[in-house]
Amino acid sequence: MNEVKVGIGFATGRKSFQKVLRTNINNWEESGLVENKRISLNVFVAYDLHYNKTKVTDYTNIHPDLVKKIDSSTFIGSVSTQQEIDYLIRENILTLEETKKIFGRGYAAKRNAVLYNAIKKNMDYLVFLDDDEYPMAVTNTRDTAIWGGQFVLSEHLKNIKNADITHGHHCGYISPIPYMEFNDIMTEGDFRSFIEAISNDIVKWDSLKAVMINGGITYANTSILTSCDAVEVVEKDHSKFISGANLCINLTKPERVFPFYNPPGARGEDTFLATCLSDRKVLRVPCYTFHDGFSTYNNLLEGVLPIRLKFIRADNEKITTRFYNACIGWIRYKPLLLYITHPDRYEEKIKEMREELEVTLPKICEFFGKPEFINILSELEKYNKNVEKHYGEFLETQCIWAKIMAHFAKRI
């Protein structure tokens, strides 16, 4: 039987990366993957030194005991990316302008760099993990939190052979929306209108409200934890929902692989990839990762399992700023998402958003004591004005990527 080459990709910028990597490698060992001679484990790390003022060794300095447990590690910084750009230009595969569309700035570019390197090194599959997600699940079926380990990588490898993409579930602090108590300044109805205006169609108010009541925490579903079966993702509104991490991409046919894209300064690279998957098989696999979205639970990686998770309250600058930044990120990609998924009703939906925001934003500003929230309206207008340009870039990115894949397909 041929060796299966598995890539594990991180797009990271956090000092805690080494701790997360150590936990994951030990998890692969515990699940039997490290000693399995038929499986080759290869780590790909695209790092950003500016995000948290980190240095290269924060990523590259892996402990020798951990290095022994994997087959290779590839570190992707500005120098190595430039070398690949030079190669693509020298071989007349892409122009300089085209390389900027794939490997430019932003989160999508980091993911594309990981994807590119994994395909270039002949990986069969690539699993994306986040540097703030841990291979464990938490439930609240009793008075205290109950924790369980998750063999995330094994679960994807079990299912990816029969799919183009597999993705798992997330628990913990997924939502950037904090716990809050409504009042006369901002009612629940006001906040609901605001969230529905800026977020994507998959974010449903009822589920968001349940998370808010839980203190901003999403708990794992025990019926999913005890299930053995993956579920096929059904297309809705031109999209098959996936997540950006706890995500596995089948690379055995590179021509079937799409690149990531997000509008400048926005997020949503997983959401836009989801709109490309109409004729692709996407499976949701029964495994969880715990998302430490507020970097509150680094001690989980040291084996400290809290019996109660902290409420995330909107009562300090850090939490409010994180929520504000998430809102800006959402509003920047919402116009393009609407343009792709509801082209016939685009103008009507933008008009509805604008009207909702004009009513609710002054209340949001007052409630959070943060007048910057009013910027959301001008960001909407800016990204609405540029939506056709961003849609063109989205399509162009796919065409440019197809050239790279055609080049790799020629290799013997």
Domain layout of the chain by residue ranges: 4-176+218-310+389-409
Residue 102 to residues 329, 397, 400, Cα–Cα distance (Å): 20, 6, 8
Joined tokens for residue 310: 């902290």
pLDDT at 202: 62
Instruction: Please report the pLDDT score of residue 201 as a whole number.
Output: 63
What is the pLDDT at residue 313?
87
Helix (H) or strand (E) holding 73: strand 72-76
Residues 6+ apart with CB under 8 A from 253: none
pLDDT tens for residues 361-371? Answer: 999 999 999 99
211: tokens are 């998370």
CA neighbor of 62 nearest in space, from 54, 53, 72, 52 = 72
Which CATH number does 4-176+218-310+389-409 carry?
Answer: 3.90.550.10
pTM: 0.95
Rounded to whole angstroms, the Cα distance separating 13 from 15 reads 7
How far is the first Cα of the chain from the last one, in angstroms, to the nearest whole number?
20
CB-count burial class (<10 Å; 0-12, 13-18, 19+) for 311: middle
Q: What angle do CA 96, 97, 102 make, to 5 degrees?
A: 95
pLDDT in tens, the chain (412 residues): 689 999 999 999 888 899 999 999 999 999 999 999 999 999 999 998 887 788 888 898 999 999 999 999 999 999 999 999 999 999 999 999 999 999 988 889 999 999 999 999 999 999 999 999 999 999 987 789 999 999 999 999 999 999 999 999 999 998 888 888 899 999 999 999 999 898 876 667 888 888 888 888 999 999 999 998 999 999 988 899 999 899 999 999 999 999 999 999 898 899 999 999 999 999 999 999 999 987 888 789 888 999 999 888 888 888 899 999 999 999 999 999 999 999 999 999 999 999 999 999 999 999 999 999 999 999 999 999 999 999 999 999 999 999 999 998 876 5
- The pLDDT score that the predictor gives to residue 203 is 67
Task: Output the pLDDT for position 84.
Answer: 95
Q: Which two tokens stand for residue 349?
A: 């939906």
Beta strand residue intervals within 204-354, DSSP E? 231-232, 247-250, 282-291
d(C-alpha 392, C-alpha 396), whole Å: 6
Residue 295: per-residue pLDDT: 80
| Average pLDDT, rounded, for the chain | 93
Taking the C-alpha atoms of residue 321 and residue 179, their distance in angstroms, rounded to an integer, is 14
